[in-house]
Structure 1
Amino acid sequence: MTAKTTKIDRLAELTAQRETAAGGSLWTEALRRLRGSKMAMIGGGIMAVFVIIAIIGPWIAPHDPTAQLWRGEVRVNAAEFVGPRAENWLGLDHLGRDELSRMLVGARQTLLVGVVSTLLGLAVGALIGGVAGAALSFGGAWGRRLDTVLMRVIDMMLALPSLLLAVSIAAVMGQSLTTVMIAVGVVQIPVFARLLRGSMLAQAGADYVLAARALGVRRRRVVLGHVLPNSLGPVIVQTTLALATAIIEAAALSYLGLGNPDASQPEWGVMLAQAQRFFDQAPMMAVYPALGIIITALGFTLLGEAMREALDPKLRS
């Protein structure tokens, strides 16, 4: 069993452990601890700022992000670039476009790719993990066989480096924004599948499940009405962490030229790739999108880790 798989299985056990250790509501205690966590406050603040900018960015951008309004002021061959000034707070790019406007508008596309790809991975992964967990817990011999088949496929996907798998999928499907969403989403599938399965297995042995089965409640109702809803805690935590990973991997694919074929449309990964050629003459062209990617991913990661610690009694002790 790999370290990656072990970490996922550990997260899957948290909800069941907390409900066994204390009679109070898991999420009430977790939210109380989150309110007192500096890590959660910083991560949540960064995430909120990023989402707000992504939503209102096109309306507050001072200029058209695709218009080469100051093309004549930038001379690439002579290494003459325009830095920050009153009219252009972050300067101009190599085609005379306003960097601030491109950063503001590019945040929306970055968020769109991250959210859609994460939701895709969550939907498919939860379906596979839910079926496997229900089959192993309540399906008898045939359920164990079905779980074995599904989990061996998931383990093979987990064994591959995530970025390598995403690049391979994107290369096969061709260059497009949809390709990036699908490639990053597929990478997220095995994590969500194994996580939900492990969480459901932990819940299957809980007292309320044993009582329901003893009273003759149908298996389908036990799974859908009790086990599945109480297994979603670790999945919610992982969704926050997966958003950070999705943003980084989507930017990496765009950087490699596998993203939106229309390079004029602002997106942080594309902006970083375009600025690479001019790093010696105008390093800030690369610094701005790089900082946007790093800070945004850091915000989601801090919030996700804070949520995980709030659920895990060992990490809090």
Structure 2
Amino acid sequence: MTTLTNKADKIDRLAELTQQTDATAGASLWREALRRLRSSKMAIIGAVVIGAFVIMAIVGPWVAPYSPTAQTWRGEVFANQGKFVGMRGENWFGLDHLGRDLFSRMLVGARQTLLVGVVSMLIGLVIGAAVGVLSGAAATLGGRTGQRIDTVIMRFTDLMLSLPSLLLAVSIAAVMGQSLTTVMIAVGVVQIPVFARLLRGSMLAQGGADYVLAAKALGIRKKRIVLTQILPNSLSPVIVQATLSLATAIIEAAALSYLGLGNPDPAIPEWGVMLSQAQRFFDNEPMMAAYPAVGIIITALGFTLLGEAMREALDPKLRG
């Protein structure tokens, strides 16, 4: 009896040491990643671009010099007989085809663009993570039944991944009807298989780790092992992908709005809608399209730069 007690005590101590080591290693990884991000020019540039975009989205409606929907200079635009009013003192970016201030519309439109991107990414992240956890847990600790569940889920995600993302988003948006909510859902659904497969693969990689074996030896319930051990250690690549998916979501949402599947009210400024409206007047006033296009490109570039920098910082192969 004493021998069994001593063995149990040794196993408990081994598990504690394993968990402490893994926790310390995890904390060290994040500290090292943060240090590398601070010294990365790519990460700094991306963070600055994202910060400027977020600030614009938050304060834009309050600092916009004019109402983004007011056709204050409509008469002046029509009086010029198709010649658009360019940059001037009271209108920094000039006027659009209805006499509305383009600078004010760009400021206010940033909030709509950010809202669509964030909500779309969150839809894909939450649902995709749930599917990935289910599949990863089934494949790691579910036995033969779990393997079958994992196979069914992964074949379905492979089917979704085999379709071009923009084509799938357009199909969903066309079925659901024209609205800003439709755009968010359509772009979010496209992101689901990406997060699901990524998290599932990360959980499979963690499934054979020492701390998982120690938890199994101690008889800890499988659900607890997944939620308290495997899942927290599998989230690093998902966090990186969430940053990269924001860039993709903004581009795809702008593409859907450009195709006329976004907000049915064209008076409400959103960069994709503004780009769609400007295409009719590109020959006479290309700057109408240039402003929202450049805004979309720079914003997506900022999220991409930060995401790639995070990926490099969290890659253990690149740790020096």
Q: TM-score, normalised by structure 1?
A: 0.91
The Cα of 1:74 is off from its aligned counterpart by 0.7
- Partner amino acid, structure 1, of 2:163: L
1:49 matched to 2:76:
no
Give CA deviations for 1:188-219 in whole Å, capped at 9, x if unaligned.
Answer: 00000001101111111111111111111111
Extract unaligned runs of 5+ from structure 2: 1-21
Mapped to 1, the partners of 2:318 and 2:239 lie a distance apart of: 18
1:197 matched to 2:203:
no
- Partner amino acid, structure 2, of 1:122: L
Which residue in 2 is equivalent to 1:73? 76
Which residue in 1 is equivalent to 2:218? 215
The Cα of 1:233 is off from its aligned counterpart by 0.8
The Cα of 1:169 is off from its aligned counterpart by 0.5
5 Å-filtered alignment, 1:93-132, equals: 93-132=96-135
Mapped to 1, the partners of 2:318 and 2:303 lie a distance apart of: 19
Mapped to 2, the partners of 1:55 and 1:23 lie a distance apart of: 34
Residue aligned with 2:65, SS? coil
Which residue in 1 is equivalent to 2:166? 163
Give CA deviations for 1:248-304 in whole Å, capped at 9, x if unaligned.
Answer: 000000000000000000000000010001111111000000000000000000000
1:247 matched to 2:246:
no
Which residue in 2 is equivalent to 1:309? 312
Extract unaligned runs of 5+ from structure 1: 1-18
- Partner amino acid, structure 2, of 1:266: P
- Partner amino acid, structure 1, of 2:167: L
Number of aligned residue pairs: 298
Residue aligned with 2:134, SS? helix
Return closer, same or farther for 1:147/1:283 CA change in 2, 3 Å cut-off: same
Mapped to 1, the partners of 2:70 and 2:26 lie a distance apart of: 60
The Cα of 1:25 is off from its aligned counterpart by 1.8
Which residue in 2 is equivalent to 1:64? 67
8 Å CA contact retained: 1:76, 1:94: no
The Cα of 1:79 is off from its aligned counterpart by 2.2
5 Å-filtered alignment, 1:26-41, equals: 26-41=29-44
- Partner amino acid, structure 2, of 1:53: M
Which residue in 2 is equivalent to 1:140? 143
The Cα of 1:75 is off from its aligned counterpart by 2.7
Which residue in 1 is equivalent to 2:289? 286
Mapped to 2, the partners of 1:315 and 1:265 lie a distance apart of: 46
Which residue in 2 is equivalent to 1:268? 271
Over the aligned positions, Cα root-mean-square deviation in angstroms equals 1.6
8 Å CA contact retained: 1:73, 1:81: no
Which residue in 1 is equivalent to 2:17? none
Which residue in 1 is equivalent to 2:241? 238
Mapped to 1, the partners of 2:63 and 2:80 lie a distance apart of: 32
Return closer, same or farther for 1:271/1:208 CA change in 2, 3 Å cut-off: same
Mapped to 2, the partners of 1:190 and 1:297 lie a distance apart of: 21
Q: TM-score, normalised by structure 2?
A: 0.90
- Partner amino acid, structure 1, of 2:132: G
Which piece of structure 1 moves more, 206-215 or 135-144? 206-215
Which residue in 2 is equivalent to 1:15? none
Mapped to 1, the partners of 2:49 and 2:275 lie a distance apart of: 21
The Cα of 1:150 is off from its aligned counterpart by 0.2
Mapped to 2, the partners of 1:316 and 1:251 lie a distance apart of: 37
Mapped to 2, the partners of 1:210 and 1:273 lie a distance apart of: 56
Which piece of structure 1 moves more, 160-169 or 67-76? 67-76
Which residue in 1 is equivalent to 2:4? none
- Partner amino acid, structure 2, of 1:191: V
Which residue in 1 is equivalent to 2:260? 257
Residue aligned with 1:266, SS? coil
Residue aligned with 1:56, SS? helix
Mapped to 2, the partners of 1:233 and 1:173 lie a distance apart of: 34
Mapped to 1, the partners of 2:27 and 2:34 lie a distance apart of: 12
- Structure (1 or 2) with the larger CA radius of gyration: 2
Mapped to 1, the partners of 2:89 and 2:26 lie a distance apart of: 59
Mapped to 2, the partners of 1:316 and 1:243 lie a distance apart of: 26
Mapped to 2, the partners of 1:290 and 1:101 lie a distance apart of: 16
8 Å CA contact retained: 1:117, 1:184: yes
- Partner amino acid, structure 1, of 2:225: V
The Cα of 1:316 is off from its aligned counterpart by 6.4
Mapped to 2, the partners of 1:96 and 1:205 lie a distance apart of: 64
- Partner amino acid, structure 2, of 1:291: V
Which residue in 2 is equivalent to 1:7? none
